[in-house]
Amino acid sequence: MAAGNLLVAQGGGPTAVINCSLVGVIEEAKLFSNKNIGNIIGVLRSIDGLLDEDLIDLRKESQSTLKNICQTPGAALGSCRRKMKEEDYGRILEIFMKYNIRYFFYIGGNGSMHTAHKIDDLAKKNGYDLKVIGIPKTIDNDLEYTDHTPGFGSAARFIASITKEIGLDIKSLPTPISIIETPGRNAGWLAAASSLAKEKDGDAPNLIYVPEKIFSLELFLSDVENVYRKYGRAVVVVCEGLKDEYGQYLGGIKSEASKDGFGRNLPGGAAYFLSEKISEQLKLRARYEKPGLAARASMEYISSIDQHEAYQVGQMAVRFALNGNSGMMMTLLRNKGEKYRCKIGSVALESVAITEKLLPSRFINSKCNYVTEAFLNYCRPLIGNPIRSFQSLSAFKISKNSTVKKQNK
Amino acid sequence: MAAGNLLVAQGGGPTAVINCSLVGVIEEAKLFSNKNIGNIIGVLRSIDGLLDEDLIDLRKESQSTLKNICQTPGAALGSCRRKMKEEDYGRILEIFMKYNIRYFFYIGGNGSMHTAHKIDDLAKKNGYDLKVIGIPKTIDNDLEYTDHTPGFGSAARFIASITKEIGLDIKSLPTPISIIETPGRNAGWLAAASSLAKEKDGDAPNLIYVPEKIFSLELFLSDVENVYRKYGRAVVVVCEGLKDEYGQYLGGIKSEASKDGFGRNLPGGAAYFLSEKISEQLKLRARYEKPGLAARASMEYISSIDQHEAYQVGQMAVRFALNGNSGMMMTLLRNKGEKYRCKIGSVALESVAITEKLLPSRFINSKCNYVTEAFLNYCRPLIGNPIRSFQSLSAFKISKNSTVKKQNK
């Protein structure tokens, strides 16, 4: 295996722990200095920066910088939204040759895994010895072949925590209906994770809607009305990816400029749209919350397990490449047994790139308006420490007819 | 002064520290047991519950319950959205007499202070010895005669923190425009507080819009375009209370059911509306975040100063009533000097009830699109510990033409 330099990049949307994977790569690679790995190079702005040869020397970063980077939101190297062109790959290979890059680690979601796969493929075709390893990352948890994706646990913890906190607020001053919108274009994992907020019947969330099931406004309104009749309030969690009968995002921003790099309309109005419908049709006061990017950027609700696993997949990716592997993405494989543990596995980049892991039907209830116990068991360990528990007053009632104890006068 | 029982209620929307004020009242009142204060009674669901005589014995709550209640979102006693009728006051006085209530503490905003004032007035007219003290609370910081209102500091810390976190996310993967919507119907204090996120030029937030100044869509779009041209991105904070030329909330939900108890339309669509306008008119991709109730319910971003002061106003209200005062609201008065300190003062309930403290012009810049240094100085101490600081890579550039050090082979 050719000795040479290492290159690492971060692709797609950041997560709260994407920098832990970066630091995992750097710290592990340092252990193999002067053996197989020479320079440890970071690419700024992902593929955009790579094509500009916008490279930095990560070996020179101090220990304390690396430590603090793990606690910083955003992608420390920067990312991009590039729509790859065929000619980009050839150019990338030239740059790799110029800088004698022999190890390439790409931290990203399925778009990034597709790019990594193409680079690996081209290197092989050109007989250039390059080890390409994908490191999974996404809050959406939509990568196949891995039990879950680093980044999801922290976003899940954020969503479950604020659902619980908002639920207590709403309980003390009932707004009849409150709708919380979560990220997730096609996959409802984060909306589903809000279920970890519920301790007992009636607690928030009362209803959860995910894009995996066909959305019916009529059934939605009837569900909301039923919950309202029972509890006098309803906290409803909806995924931004809910679509109408024409396949358009509910309340999505329609203008051309807000399409994504792949020509898709942007979601982001489902809760607004549905709160208007509730208000118009059920004649109930409705409000909505859309924490949006805070779900992946907030560092206060982070999952310790998620941080640990994100670091670990970065670290293991380096070992895996040094063992001669290429064209693979690291995965997390959950042990059977009672106690939660994951070991690290791998899967071909090619397979991951073309799939999208949606919530399976066994995680969604038959009415398509909540999750199942099986989902709760799946999700609970991923958020690390349980979300905060809160206190209510014991509330010792004073009888209306009681003679209230009077004071010395 | 008549000895008798104490009654405490929480009115209006909760804050992250409203329960600290409640516990301040309870713990201070306990010190005067068997002297002037007999039972310590809590009202569930505020005035709604009071009229139903839905009362609880707060003396029986354990120390640990009270401690934990201080860390719990929502109003522990429950609140309500009652539109008071004239006959309600007479009924309240009857209930006070029935339970020999001689001390009434109402934790709330200006609506609650109005109610407290009317109760105080009626008791005086009827020659019933009652001490009524208002305890200020609101995230909106819109009460006059107090330097700031308990509840604001914690919500301000939340808004500033997530603006910073979202800003770092956006910086690493530029979405051209991101709009963050904050609470505040008429007063822009919370939108303004986002400014504490900025460390250097170009950092989020780039622009801030508050309802105190007339909003011009044309100027807004031109400001956004200018920031985008300079930095390639813009994080814009807008207050939900922004209004169009007809005085209607931008993007506000218009149906009848979503009017508030006082017949006012509800805000809550400003960021959605403006992101559509940017997308349509500037042809720039725009997204928005609306954390909504999370700003007042999140317990992870709480301000320690705010918690302390909220407790203190509750505590001092009891002492103040025992000193024979009534018809007053406790206030916070900031010392001049360098180091931040507040002492507790008081103001007539009648004065507070009819006013609303808006951001003064000296806190808003001349372009009406950001705050001034004076505002930063005012706001900074209120959030307690500074918001987290984050790390960026030192990013030692690798020269494009450099011969990259190759590894032993």
* Interval A54-80: pLDDT, tens: 999 999 999 999 999 999 999 999 999
Partners of A171 on chain B (C-beta within 8 Å) are 74, 78
Distance CA A161, CA A303 (A): 11
Whether residue A384 has pLDDT greater than 80: yes
Residue B140 annotated among the catalytic residues of the structure:
yes
Q: Which residue of A has its CA nearest to B55?
A: A398
The answer to whether A178 touches A289, Cβ cutoff 8 Å, is yes
Kindly tell me the burial class for residue A20, based on how many C-beta atoms sit within 10 Å of its own C-beta (0-12, 13-18, 19 or more).
buried
- Put simply, the answer to whether A407 touches B38 (Cβ < 8 Å) is yes
Distance CA A235, CA B331 (A): 35
Q: Which of B48, B52, B120, B140 is catalytic?
A: B140
Task: Tell me the average pLDDT across A222-251.
Answer: 94
Question: Using CB atoms and an 8 Å cut-off, which of residues 229-258 of chain A contact chain B?
Answer: 251, 253, 255-258
Task: Tell me the average pLDDT across A336-350.
Answer: 94
pLDDT above 70: percentage of residues in chain A = 94
Partners of A49 on chain B (C-beta within 8 Å) are none
Could you report the per-residue pLDDT of A7-46, keeping only the tens digit for each? 999 999 999 999 999 999 999 999 987 678 999 999 999 9
Question: Which of A298, A383, A388 should be substituted to probe chain B, the one whose Cβ sees the most B Cβ atoms within 10 Å?
Answer: A298
Report cis status (omega within 30 of 0) of the bond before B291.
no
**pTM (2 decimals)?**
0.96
Q: Which residue of A has its CA nearest to B298?
A: A165
- Put simply, the answer to whether A169 touches B74 (Cβ < 8 Å) is yes
B409 reaches A (C-beta below 8 A): yes
Gyration radius (Cα) of chain A, Å: 24
Edge-first strand order for the sheet with A177-182 is A207-209, A234-239, A177-182, A286-289
pLDDT computed for residue B407 by the predictor: 46
- Put simply, the answer to whether A276 touches B288 (Cβ < 8 Å) is no
* Inter-residue long-range contacts of A223-231, CB under 8 Å, 24+ positions, other chains counted: A223/A367, A223/A369, A224/A177, A224/A278, A224/A282, A224/A284, A225/A282, A225/A284, A228/A176, A228/A177, A228/A282, A228/A284, A230/A202, A231/A202, A231/A206
Question: Using CB atoms and an 8 Å cut-off, which of residues 122-151 of chain B contact chain A?
Answer: none
Distance CA B306, CA B73 (A): 14
pLDDT computed for residue A408 by the predictor: 40
- Put simply, the answer to whether A275 touches B253 (Cβ < 8 Å) is yes
Residues linked to residue B355 through DSSP beta bridges, in sequence order = none
B51 reaches A (C-beta below 8 A): no
Could you report the per-residue pLDDT of A146-171, keeping only the tens digit for each? 999 999 999 999 999 999 999 999 99
Of B285, B394, B409, the CB nearest to A258: B285
Partners of B158 on chain A (C-beta within 8 Å) are none
Q: Which two tokens stand for residue B185?
A: 């119907």
Write the Ramachandran bin of B251: left for phi over 0, alpha for psi from -120 to 50, otherwise beta: left
The whole-angstrom distance between B366's CA and the closest CA on chain A is 30
Question: Using CB atoms and an 8 Å cut-off, which of residues 300-359 of chain B contact chain A?
Answer: 300-301
pLDDT computed for residue B248 by the predictor: 86
Question: Which regions in chain B score pLDDT beneath 70?
Answer: 1-2, 34, 253-265, 402-409
Helix then strand then coil, in percent of chain A rounded to 5, is 40, 20, 45
Q: Which of A140, A142, A223, A306 is catalytic?
A: A140
Q: How many CB pairs under 8 A join A and B?
A: 334
Task: Tell me the average pLDDT across A76-105.
Answer: 96
Kindly tell me the burial class for residue B217, based on how many C-beta atoms sit within 10 Å of its own C-beta (0-12, 13-18, 19 or more).
middle
pLDDT computed for residue A105 by the predictor: 98
**ipTM of the prediction:** 0.95
Question: Which of B80, B290, B302, B401 should be substituted to probe chain A, the one whose Cβ sees the most A Cβ atoms within 10 Å?
Answer: B290
B166 reaches A (C-beta below 8 A): yes
**Inter-axis angle of helices A304-322 and A152-172, nearest 10:** 170
Q: Which two tokens stand for residue A386?
A: 């349980």
Return all residues near A316 (Cβ < 8 A) that are at least 6 apart.
Answer: A24, A28, A330, A344
Angle at A378 between CA A377 and CA A381, to 5 degrees: 80
The answer to whether A333 touches A343, Cβ cutoff 8 Å, is yes
Distance CA A350, CA B218 (A): 48
pLDDT computed for residue B266 by the predictor: 76
The whole-angstrom distance between A278's CA and the closest CA on chain B is 9
pLDDT computed for residue B408 by the predictor: 41
pLDDT computed for residue A367 by the predictor: 97
Of B99, B255, B269, the CB nearest to A280: B255
Return all residues near A50 (Cβ < 8 A) that are at least 6 apart.
Answer: A7, A9, A43, A92, A95
Task: Tell me the average pLDDT across A181-195.
Answer: 97
Partners of B58 on chain A (C-beta within 8 Å) are 393
Partners of A155 on chain B (C-beta within 8 Å) are none
Distance CA B308, CA A354 (A): 54
A407 reaches B (C-beta below 8 A): yes
Q: In B164-246, which ranges are E strands?
A: 177-182, 207-209, 234-239
Question: Which of A79, A290, A403 should be substituted to probe chain B, the one whose Cβ sees the most B Cβ atoms within 10 Å?
Answer: A290
Of B72, B269, B408, the CB nearest to A272: B269
Partners of B288 on chain A (C-beta within 8 Å) are 268, 290, 292
Q: Which residue of A has its CA nearest to B395?
A: A56
Distance CA A307, CA B250 (A): 40
B193 reaches A (C-beta below 8 A): no
B285 reaches A (C-beta below 8 A): yes
Q: How far is CA A197 from CA A163, A191, B35, B75, in A?
A: 6, 11, 44, 18
Question: Which of B80, B99, B172, B177 should be substituted to probe chain A, the one whose Cβ sees the most A Cβ atoms within 10 Å?
Answer: B172
- Put simply, the answer to whether A57 touches B294 (Cβ < 8 Å) is no
How many CB atoms are closer than 10 A to CB B100? Answer: 18
The whole-angstrom distance between B144's CA and the closest CA on chain A is 24
Write the Ramachandran bin of B274: left for phi over 0, alpha for psi from -120 to 50, otherwise beta: alpha
pLDDT computed for residue B1 by the predictor: 62
**Inter-axis angle of helices B152-172 and B304-322, nearest 10:** 170
B277 reaches A (C-beta below 8 A): no
Partners of A299 on chain B (C-beta within 8 Å) are 165, 388, 390
Question: Of B154, B152, B151, B122, nearest to B349 (Cα)?
Answer: B122
Partners of A58 on chain B (C-beta within 8 Å) are 393
- Put simply, the answer to whether B408 touches A34 (Cβ < 8 Å) is yes
pLDDT computed for residue B370 by the predictor: 98
* 3-class DSSP assignment, residue A248: coil
Partners of A2 on chain B (C-beta within 8 Å) are 409
**Inter-axis angle of helices B18-30 and B304-322, nearest 10:** 40
Question: Of A275, A210, A219, nearest to A243 (Cα)?
Answer: A210
* Cα distance between the two ends of chain A: 94
- Put simply, the answer to whether A280 touches B41 (Cβ < 8 Å) is no
Report cis status (omega within 30 of 0) of the bond before B205.
yes
